[in-house]
Amino acid sequence: MIDLDKVRDKVAFIRRNLDMLRRLADTPRDAFSERSIHFHAAIRLLQTSVEAMIDTGSHIVAREGLGSPKSYGEVFDVLASAGAIPPEFLDRVKAMVRFRNRAVHLYGEIDVDHVYSILQNDLRDFDAFIGFIVRKYLL
């Protein structure tokens, strides 16, 4: 059985991070690149938000007995197969997982332009994930 409190806590964590990420997204591009603290804060907030998504998905997969994903990306394949997220969302969420992997393992290769682009264009993907999980498991 899914621990709904755990899922709620992860969703709340992502939402709190999103609030901070949106404030960073409001930073003008020049100021964002001049202040390395903004860049590094954004990377960490993005990384931990994706990790919370992975944790949520892994918890659901395990508690529902949906299989044993071999990678973080496969967690979302299983969620899509179970109807928790739409299949057309897979490319977006797997891009998020790839970013997380780069932030953890190839942190020196992440550039300001990429992070700023995520802030400007991709934060809605976190909202989408939250919406899918809330509708499927928390309503």
pLDDT for 110 equals 96
Q: Which long-range contacts (CB under 8 A, 24 or more apart) does 116-124 make?
A: 116/29, 116/32, 116/33, 116/42, 118/42, 118/46, 119/21, 119/24, 119/25, 119/32, 119/42, 120/25, 122/92, 122/95, 122/96, 123/18, 123/21, 123/22, 123/25
| Domain tally, the chain | 1
> What mean pLDDT do residues 81-100 have?
98
CATH number for the domain spanning 17: value is: 1.20.120.580
C-alpha dihedral (56, 59, 65, 67), degrees to nearest 10 = 70
Host domain of residue 89: 4-138
Is residue 45 very low, low, confident or very high in pLDDT (cuts 50, 70, 90)?
very high
Q: Tell me the pTM.
A: 0.96
In this predicted structure, what is the pLDDT of residue 18? 99
d(CA 56, CA 133): 9
